[in-house]
Chains A and B, each alone.
Chain A
């Protein structure tokens, strides 16, 4: 089992550990995502039908929508949110959603920005542990 360490920029701090779910395309957390179930519902999304609950969610970016923070906060409230969100670029809406959820519900979900190169090295199923300062320890999944 190989493990490595990388550092990500912190948009919202939190400690988390979970299995990676890697999204191939941007996701709208409002409209493309069901905050009641944590399931991706965007008809055009390659991971449609997947559930983000409990996963270390890694995606290129969120599709801009004023409703993004609500989608994230509502999923966290219902316990169907990801344990962490790492994006390819900084995103105020995602960070604010996680921040408000932390204030209202006491659940801290790290929101991070990861280099493209670091993102490219990850696979769904890898295990990631995140510290509050953005240090990530990655344990690669075993492939048979």
Chain B
């Protein structure tokens, strides 16, 4: 063992650094060590899996970096899966190359380079929906914000939010700085959020999880929140909604839900026996405010429905298909669902793609509607059931977002105008006095 700036290195670390496996692996090791120095980590931690974001085209530097790694013989140390791409390899019509040749061809090339590097080309922001996900206690590299929060909170795998290049470098050397959410101390709950004032029935509605996540992110920022009062049978789609919304509106990389998530069988475990730094009762008024802040305008004619942010799961399709079966999206409205290739293959086996196609629903794979501005007709008034989409899209696209439930999205798409389920928008449903 030798030391660099107080950091223990083993023989392989040292060999990589010295260029024994080439200049690309040496750069990767230097980047990981630099990150360790900056974060004050005292050691490096082996990882067993990575989900990288640097495959999302973000300018020519991204292509140059990937090309450098491939050309200089870099080799991945762990199974490495890819996040969504800016473009779809399967459906080239979604973002025609002629409209934006530099960006589209760059994004395609980047996808090819990461496949050459040896990545598993899953192209999804919801890799945890695919078989072969990591397990409780595994140290991994996550990068996309909802995936980081889902892996940490729901799976109980351990990762910080790794930015571009560091994600790839860590996957190459198979090590990360041992800091933050990799450590027990970093995973200790800090803030207790209680739901006593929120009706039990509402806590089973999907819209509640999006809104709760949105509120949680804004209040907790980067502190670890602990939620008490989620129903024990909360499903992974609902926990995905909390993860995505809290990571978008704040910087929540991990939450615990008592009696639901694996590191929080009880309150004491979530806080590791330490007192919460603050106890915050979520109020109906706060949730109503958060819910309303996700819609920019009111009702009226609807241009598009965009769902599947993060990528739609098999179980979400199982809810969508009966709602759409035998119905037809209005002529003036477009309906897009973003998902992964993997889930697409599963729904095709079920014969669901044919039903959705007949209903006028278009399923998009590899990418997402909120950063694929050339998705046909993505402008005007767009309805989504995703708090994350509603939060980000107005800044990225020329759209007015309207937030609602899956059922409201479907009904609105069929009618061609925003339709509200009054029951869900009455304040007393959310626990407020009427």
Contacts and interface: CB of A to CB of B under 8 A. Distances in A.
A96 B165 contact: yes
B235 interface: no
Contact of B164 (A64, A67, A91, A95): A67
Contacts, number: 91
Interface string A112-135: 000000000000000000000000
A50 to B, nearest CB: 20
Given A100-B65, A103-B68, A35 B163 contact: no
Which among A31, A68, A103 has the highest number of chain B CB atoms within 10 Å?
A103
A69 B38 CA distance: 15
A6 interface: no
Nearest to A73: B61
B161 interface: yes
Contacts of A76: 61
Interface in B2-59: 27, 30-31, 34-35, 38-39, 53-54, 58-59
A86 interface: no
A90 B61 contact: no
Nearest to B57: A70
B144 interface: yes
B260 to A, nearest CB: 27
Given A12-B34, A103-B27, A104-B64, A96 B58 contact: no
Interface in B161-175: 161-167
A100 B31 CA distance: 8
B395 interface: yes
A140 interface: no
A70 B60 CA distance: 9
Given A77-B64, A100-B31, A104-B64, A71 B58 contact: yes
A104 B35 contact: no
B145 interface: yes
B143 A66 contact: yes
B164 A68 contact: yes
A70 B166 contact: no
B61 A11 contact: no
Interface string B238-254: 00000000000001000
B420 interface: no
Interface in B143-189: 143-145, 161-167
Nearest to B32: A96
Contacts of A77: 59-61, 64
B62 interface: yes
Q: Is the interface of A mostly helix, strand, loop or mixed?
A: helix
B61 A104 contact: yes
Interface string A41-74: 0000000000000000000000011111111011
Interface residues of A, number: 31
Given A73-B61, A96-B165, A97-B165, A66 B68 contact: no
B68 A31 contact: no
Contact of A66 (B27, B53, B59): B53
Contacts of A30: 58
Nearest to A63: B251
Contacts of B54: 70
A93 B167 CA distance: 11
Contacts of B58: 30, 67, 70-71, 74
A77 B38 CA distance: 24
From B30, B39, B54, B166, residue with most partner A Cβ within 10 Å: B166
A109 interface: no
A11 B62 CA distance: 21
Given A74-B60, A97-B165, A31 B395 contact: yes
Contacts of A91: 38
20 contacts: A11-B34, A11-B38, A30-B58, A66-B145, A67-B163, A67-B164, A68-B163, A68-B164, A69-B164, A73-B165, A74-B60, A77-B64, A91-B38, A92-B34, A92-B38, A96-B35, A97-B164, A99-B31, A100-B31, A100-B65
5 A-B pairs with the lowest CB-CB distances in the bound complex, closest first:
A74-B59, A73-B61, A70-B58, A93-B163, A74-B61
Given A74-B59, A92-B34, 4 more contacts: A66-B162, A92-B38, A96-B164, A104-B61
Interface of A: 11-12, 30-31, 35-36, 64-71, 73-74, 76-77, 90-93, 95-97, 99-101, 103-105
